[in-house]
Amino acid sequence: MSDDRFDAIIVGGGIAGTVTAYLLAKEGLEVMLVERGNYSGSKNVTGGRIYSHSLEKIIPDFAQEAPVERKITREKISLMTDDSNVTIDFSSTRLGQQGSDSYSVLRGAFDQWLAGKAEDAGVQMVTGIRVDNLIVREGKVCGIVAGEDEMEANITILADGVNSLLAQKLGYRGELSPHQVAVGVKEIIELPSEVIDDRFNCKDGEGTSWLFAGTPSAGKVGGGFIYTNKASISLGVVCTLCELIKANKTIPQMLEDFKSHPSIEPLLKGGKMIEYSGHLVPEGGLHMVPKIIGDGVLIVGDAAGFCINLGYAVRGMDFAVGSAECAARAVLKAKETKNYSAEFLQCYQSFLDDSFVMKDLKHYKNFPHFLEETPRIFDGYPGMAADMMTDLFVVTGNPPQSMTRMMMKHVKQIGLLNIAKDGWKGVRSL
């Protein structure tokens, strides 16, 4: 390698970028990773939970070594109204089996650990530098431009996150549309770990994931989330951008209201907010995946739109890892034949197609649309559930009504047919 040239340059030191860099350096390639934050994990945001399956394949037993927070063994989903909250609470030893387990993580620590792995594997880590542009000659990406400096590589991998300006500059995608992204805000609230164990009914080292539909996002497409960390709680609100315009509240106000909801406030009592962040979440699913292969360039992770929000589960990090693995395999193949043309790099697409990344994205391709087309999930059903529960549990001394009558009264408000239709559409989109 001459001093001014690398085998691969990776832009972005999030999960997608560091895993790609790690895999390539491990195979002996000269790799540089450029991250604009002062360290990996300093600029990006996640809710909180990584499904381990994809990283487990790359770094077996990673959870033993990585700074993960808690293993998730309790899943809760709630329908929330202003004054009530109806929750399904699932705990099981079936959750948390190695290979299909999941962990709450804080990106500051987790991404730095991954970056350390990459550096140990030989990656040249350049942090605190923003890549401003790409060197493009006759349609071929030949490297990067950062400030006054240029650096060339056989292949450039864009892992620069949801709002990939570089992919946009290449003309691979347009501006993000408000339908494709949600805005997320999140606080990390510090509490002693024993207090978290008690309040969330968790065993030492184990934790809860908790998602909410209804008032957290002011009845709009989106929701609230809570993930328990070792000695803190990640809590936040996500709302689709196009809906936010219609909402009667701002996102920070939604978060404030969520925190002071009667069923949330006691869980946070005495806690101290230690971090506040906001970020975009790609939510368009398969429909928003841009052009991801070009001459001398591949796109991975959020930058490629590889993320799904199912309401009861958000998955982006495992896709970031999965796409990184496919990209690394494609680059290794390209290196063998010294062919970095878009045509040859189509193998990235085939690797993706054969992996869970594309299979899952295709499987859930209609789901984002379903959520958007079914506002009742966010502004109808939470109220219905709360009303039903009230009739069930509140004893007033008035003569009782038959259970069917009692329940049907609430069902009728939304309409039986509507419920059946939503249910059918929802199940089909899954």
Ligand X SMILES: Cc1cc2nc3c(=O)[nH]c(=O)nc-3n(C[C@H](O)[C@H](O)[C@H](O)COP(=O)(O)OP(=O)(O)OC[C@H]3O[C@@H](n4cnc5c(N)ncnc54)[C@H](O)[C@@H]3O)c2cc1C
Interface residues toward ligand X, by CB under 6 A: 11-17, 34-37, 43-50, 130-131, 159-161, 184, 186, 236, 238, 279, 281, 301-303, 307, 314-318, 320
Closer residue to another protein, CB minimum distance, 123 or 331: 123
CB 247 within 8 A of CB 218: yes
Closer residue to ligand X, CB minimum distance, 213 or 307: 307
CB atoms within 10 A of CB 107: 21
Query: Residue 371 touches which of ligand X, another protein, none (CB < 5 to 8 A by kind)?
Result: none
Q: How far is the CB of 354 from ligand X (least distance, A)?
A: 20
Query: Residue 128 touches which of another protein, ligand X, none (CB < 5 to 8 A by kind)?
Result: another protein
Residue nearest to ligand X (CB): 316
CB 60 within 8 A of CB 67: no
Q: Which stretch binds another protein (CB under 8 A): 81-89, 148-156, 203-211, 359-367?
A: 148-156
Nearest 10 degrees: CA dihedral of 129, 130, 131, 132?
-130
In whole angstroms, give the CA distance from residue 245 to residue 229. Answer: 32
Among 64, 94, 148, 395, binds another protein (CB under 8 A): 148
55 scored as a contact of another protein (CB under 8 A): no
Binding mask 216-255 for another protein (x = CB under 8 A): ----------------------------------------
Spacing of C-alpha 132 from chain mean position: 25
Q: Which stretch binds another protein (CB under 8 A): 141-149, 171-179, 359-367, 418-426?
A: 141-149
126 scored as a contact of another protein (CB under 8 A): yes
Closer residue to another protein, CB minimum distance, 151 or 352: 151
CB 302 within 8 A of CB 333: no
Task: Count CA within 13 A, CB hemisphere, residue 106.
Answer: 23
124 scored as a contact of another protein (CB under 8 A): yes
What would the two tokens of residue 406 be?
């009692």
CA separation, residue 8 to residues 31, 95, 161, 189 (Å):
5, 38, 18, 39
Sequence-distant (6+) residues with CB within 8 A of 133 are 144, 145, 166, 169
Q: How far is the CB of 208 from another protein (least distance, A)?
A: 25
Task: Count CA within 13 A, CB hemisphere, residue 155.
Answer: 33
Strand, helix or coil for residue 311: coil
175 scored as a contact of another protein (CB under 8 A): no
Closer residue to ligand X, CB minimum distance, 279 or 376: 279
Among 128, 252, 400, 415, binds another protein (CB under 8 A): 128
Closer residue to another protein, CB minimum distance, 100 or 253: 253
Closer residue to ligand X, CB minimum distance, 282 or 383: 282
Query: Residue 32 touches which of ligand X, another protein, none (CB < 5 to 8 A by kind)?
Result: another protein
Query: Residue 149 touches which of ligand X, another protein, none (CB < 5 to 8 A by kind)?
Result: another protein
149 scored as a contact of another protein (CB under 8 A): yes
Query: Residue 124 touches which of another protein, ligand X, none (CB < 5 to 8 A by kind)?
Result: another protein
In whole angstroms, give the CA distance from residue 194 to residue 165. Answer: 43
Q: How far is the CB of 242 from another protein (least distance, A)?
A: 25
Strand, helix or coil for residue 254: helix
Phi, psi values for residue 65, rounded to 5°: -110, -35
Q: How far is the CB of 4 from another protein (least distance, A)?
A: 9
> What's the burial of 315, exposed, middle or buried (CB within 10 Å: 0-12/13-18/19+)?
buried
CB atoms within 10 A of CB 158: 31
Closer residue to another protein, CB minimum distance, 143 or 222: 143
Q: Which stretch binds another protein (CB under 8 A): 140-148, 288-296, 315-323, 365-373?
A: 140-148
Q: How far is the CB of 70 from another protein (least distance, A)?
A: 19
Closer residue to another protein, CB minimum distance, 23 or 33: 33
CA separation, residue 234 to residues 110, 188, 381, 422 (Å):
14, 5, 26, 31
Strand partners, 124: 32
Closer residue to another protein, CB minimum distance, 32 or 358: 32
SS3 of the chain: helix, strand, coil, percent, to 5 = 40, 25, 35
Give me the sign of the Cα torsion angle 292, 298, 304, 307. Answer: positive
Sequence-distant (6+) residues with CB within 8 A of 305 are 162, 180, 282, 284, 285, 288, 289, 290
Q: Kindly list the residues in this chain that would bind another protein in the complex (CB under 8 A).
A: 32, 34, 39, 124, 126-129, 146-149, 151, 260
